[in-house]
Structure 1
Amino acid sequence: MALQLTRMFPTAFRDRRVYRGKEGEKIVLRPATREDAPELTKRLARVVKEGIYLDENPDNLPTHREKRDEIREIHRNKGMYTVVEVEGKIAGAAMLRRGSKGISDHTAKFRTWLVPGYRGMGLGKKLMEYTIDWAHANGLEKINLDVWSSNDRAIQLYKKYGFRVEGRLRRQAILQGQYVDEVFMSLFL
């Protein structure tokens, strides 16, 4: 019965949050809009170009139109696509894509990224808190993610918020000349 009550009566959730950073900068977390697509595409390309955080090919990144369609599709499927802005510029994003309708839509796959120059500002923590609050308010029971084993900072952040390792694919990628594992983690809400 508790499961149904959670889904019937979601908890209150503020989808726009404003903070001040360590240096007084204005930080805003809010749902992504179609108008964000060009800046999101540009910023994502910068992260992918680093070649150490995301498993994507720079030559196959989405166009602005494809990014607009992705934002619309995630929202239409009752998922979350959130941006974090610092002084009006997109510094990163977080997404929750729900599982298959009727089968695994009580779960969601989490993905996040931050642009170089905006890391170490506490934005990852803000995105994580926002994401977990959103998941509670929208009846999710489990959040899943995968992360490279070399990304210690992210793994420690996820563990701090209660994520646990569920498995790993050993030597799944070569980053900067070294084999790394793909680590699968989850949080039961």
Structure 2
Amino acid sequence: MNKRFDGKGLSYIVRQAVQQDAKELSAVRVQIDGETEYLDREKGEGFIDETGFRELIKRDSEHDRCLFLVAVARNRIVGFSRCAGQDLKRFSHQVEFGVCVLKEFWGYGIGKRLLNESIVWADAAGIQKMTLRVSETNERASALYQKHGFKIEGILKKDKRLSDGTYNNTIVMGRWHDRK
């Protein structure tokens, strides 16, 4: 899959992650984590090096319930998303979705495209449920997910402690797709 998109003066490609992306993904993830408190990690936490990303990309490419996408603009990775499924039979009908985009590229629709492509893949793969977690303060993302059929399933109170000592709630959302 190699899909080209144009939005607000920016051309970018959404495609599956490949082994050669590993080093750049490692650096991009650290940068994104340092740009917002919407994500789970602070800058440098849970660091995944090039080897770790190579293994993750390999594992995802071999698993029929996993999808790892990257968005490429101006010859560099500017965002990525993953749908992560499990091997446990009781959870085999669902995947967990996550997405992140470099702050410099917010507002171009990249996150929306990564979400759209993930939904199309999940529906085609027979995945019945997509789940995600979003910070309650990330109203734009929450609204986007709701526009794409995600429903609020619960709120985790004071789930995340931010660097300034305040707490944020996390919204748990799910999207159900009946197989026909």
Q: Report the TM-score, using the length of structure 2 for normalisation.
A: 0.91
Of 67, 74, 87, the match for 1:87? 74
Question: Equivalents in 1 of 2:97, 2:145: separation in Å?
Answer: 11
* Amino acid aligned to 2:170: E
The residue correspondences of 1:90-109 to structure 2 (distance < 5 A) are 90-109=77-96
2:142 counterpart of 1:155? yes
Matching residue within 17, 25, 30 for 1:45: 30
Deviation at 1:72, TM superposition (A): 1.1
2:124 is equivalent to residue 137 of structure 1: yes
Describe how 1:1-189 pairs up with structure 2 within 5 A: 15-23=1-9, 25-57=10-42, 58-78=44-64, 79-175=66-162, 176-189=164-177
The whole-number CA distance in structure 2 between the counterparts of 1:59 and 1:105 is 29
Aligned partners of 2:16 and 2:69 also within 8 Å: yes
Query: Aligned equivalents of 1:160 and 1:29: distance in 2?
Result: 21
Alignment identity in percent?
27
The Cα shift of 1:75 comes to: 1.9
Letter in 1 for 2:105: Y
Count of residue pairs the alignment pairs up: 174
Corresponding letter in the other structure for 1:188: W
Structure 2 residues without counterparts, runs of 5 or longer:
none
CA distance in 1, matches of 2:120, 2:86: 18
RMSD: 1.4
How far residue 51 of structure 1 moved from its aligned partner, in angstroms, is 4.8
Task: Tell me if the contact between 1:95 and 1:112 (Cα under 8 Å) persists in the aligned partners.
Answer: yes
CA contact (8 A) 1:46 1:115 kept: yes
Is this contact kept in 1: 2:83–2:97, CA < 8 A?
Answer: yes
1:162 is matched by which residue type in structure 2?
A: G
**Residue type at the aligned position of 2:167:** Y
Unpaired segments ≥5 residues, structure 1: 1-14
The SS at the match of 1:147 is strand
Give the C-alpha shift of residue 91 in structure 1: 0.9
Distance 1:89 1:166 in 2: 36
